[in-house]
Amino acid sequence: MNFTAIDFETAKPSRASVCAVGLLEYQDGEKVEEFYRLLKPWDEQFDPWHTSIHGITYEDVEDADAFDVLWEEELEHRLLDKLVVAHHASFDMSVLRHALDVYDIPYPEITYNCTVNIAKKTWGGLLNYKLHTVAEHLSIIFSHHYALEDARASAEVFMHAWKQHEAVSLEVFLEKTNLTNGKKKAGGYWICVKKVDTFFYDLSVIKRNGRRLFFPPVRIDDAAEASSSNRLTHPLYHLERWLRKKALSCLH
């Protein structure tokens, strides 16, 4: 399989404050490139709590490129038209989205999926699906919160799942895991969610900050159950609270 694994670290709670990126590219299941860079956050501010997690300080990045420079010179061509995987991809794609927005850079064409969702569909019954928990289950050894190592661990989770499902193509893999890919594109993005079999309403009209968000069609009776006892498995429930509320409001 061909894919790129990615992980971002941020300097503070702001998703736009990217300070490190790790990336690995695989072709036919073999690693062909590793890429790691520190970045100077757009406002040059670091939160001590975040530094305590990943160990990166302003002194480490003061001579590093800002995101817009790194994007043009190093990152865009490594992600464009690729299948990108990440653990908690909603976070990493949000970081990418916010960083692009800060510099008013159009969204690239990227297809992506989340190894949290993949792990849940592959190895049921784990205590949780944090990266270190899944990695321990699969005997993957890595240094957590170092972007390149987190990306590598995500890649190995993806490859273990691919093997577990005996997938011969991405289409077969998605069918066996009952997942869809997300897609980032110029002007908006699709999110990756559990597939639904039937539908009555298309939520692609929702926008945020002028960006159109594209959703797989969602069934009204599914949406009506979003606050039920099964809410954690509902196709809308993994969304940010504001987005779930907006999506549900479109269905009534």
pLDDT of amino acid 241:
54
What is the average pLDDT across 144-153? 97
Average pLDDT, the chain: 83
What is the average pLDDT across 18-46? 96
pLDDT of amino acid 17:
96
The architecture of the domain spanning 3-195 is 2-Layer Sandwich (3.30)
**pLDDT higher for 102 or 186?**
102
Residue 200 has pLDDT above 70, yes or no: no
For the beta carbon of residue 170, count every other beta carbon within 10 angstroms: 16
Residue 226 has pLDDT above 60, yes or no: no
- Whether pTM exceeds 0.95: no
pLDDT in tens, 176-194: 999 999 887 666 655 665 5
Residue 164 has pLDDT above 80, yes or no: yes
pLDDT cut 90: percent of the chain above it = 69
Residue 228 has pLDDT above 50, yes or no: no
Name the range with the highest mean pLDDT among 26-40, 188-202, 215-229: 26-40
Between CA 101 and CA 58 the distance in angstroms is: 22
Q: Where residue 20 falls among pLDDT bands split at 50, 70, 90?
A: very high
pLDDT of amino acid 206:
45
